[in-house]
Copies of this chain bind each other. A is one copy, B any other.
Amino acid sequence: MHEGSLMEQCTSTSRVFNGRILKLRVDKVIFEDGLEATREVVEHPGASVIIPLLEDNSILLVQQYRYAVGRELLEIPAGTCQIGEQPELCAKRELQEETGYACESLEKVLECYVAPGYSTEKIHFYLARGLSRIGQNPDEDERITVVQISIPTALSKIRAGEICDAKTICAIFRVMDFVKDSTL
């Protein structure tokens, strides 16, 4: 086995792209032992996931066409943080925009990286409870259908490959800690 992972220091940066959501840079790095390598890095402002947990222990998912992967996906509500936006405010905003619900409480339950090999994106997961319907307000380029689903059905859909989005699988896994076993 190796003696442990080593830090990499950046020796030069080439900025390749500065887009609406993504930025891309290519860095040259040097390891502590002198080896050099290249790192392609997607800069992403981060995102919030909201797990809307209803009184009957069902959750809300959203179905939408995902252009990058060329198909519809069934996902947990989520959205990209705006510049300078706190993840918790992003979560509240996206909950309403995507599902039409407001919540009484929002509890941080998880955070994780989605693709640490090349993307800076960190996702903040919030459990939303005390939900009340106030009306949907999606971005004009988002076409979203809200789906209410029980946790056992969601688990079946993961095993059947019908839910196949990493953050959604993480969210469903995490929410199980917050519902009584007797209802699963």
List residues of A whose CB falls within 8 A of some B CB. Answer: 1-8, 16-17, 19-22, 24, 26-27, 29, 31, 35, 37-42, 44, 63-69, 72-73, 75, 80, 100, 110-123, 136, 138, 140-141, 143-146, 158-159, 161, 164-167, 169-170, 173-174, 177
- Pairwise interchain contact B68-A119, C-beta atoms closer than 8 A: yes
- Pairwise interchain contact A117-B20, C-beta atoms closer than 8 A: no
A119-B119, A121-B115 as given contacts; A5 in contact with B40, CB under 8 Å: no
Q: Which residues of B contact A141 (CB under 8 A)?
A: 31, 35, 37
Give Cα distance in the complex from A112 to B164, angstroms. 4
- Pairwise interchain contact A140-B68, C-beta atoms closer than 8 A: no
Q: Which residues of B contact A16 (CB under 8 A)?
A: 16-17, 24
- Pairwise interchain contact A26-B19, C-beta atoms closer than 8 A: yes
Give Cα distance in the complex from A148 to B99, angstroms. 41
- Pairwise interchain contact A116-B40, C-beta atoms closer than 8 A: no
- Pairwise interchain contact B169-A173, C-beta atoms closer than 8 A: yes
- Pairwise interchain contact A145-B42, C-beta atoms closer than 8 A: no
Report the minimal beta-carbon distance from A61 to chain B, rounded to whole angstroms: 13
Give Cα distance in the complex from A6 to B120, angstroms. 29
**A37, A67, A75 — which one has the most chain B CB atoms within 10 A of its CB?**
A67
Q: Which 5 A-B pairs have the closest CB atoms?
A: A37-B141, A66-B116, A5-B65, A173-B173, A166-B166
Give Cα distance in the complex from A75 to B73, angstroms. 25
Give Cα distance in the complex from A118 to B20, angstroms. 11
A68-B117, A145-B2 as given contacts; A111 in contact with B37, CB under 8 Å: no
A2-B143, A143-B2 as given contacts; A20 in contact with B38, CB under 8 Å: yes
Report the minimal beta-carbon distance from A4 to chain B, rounded to whole angstroms: 5
Nearest chain B residue, comparing its CB with the CB of A163: B112
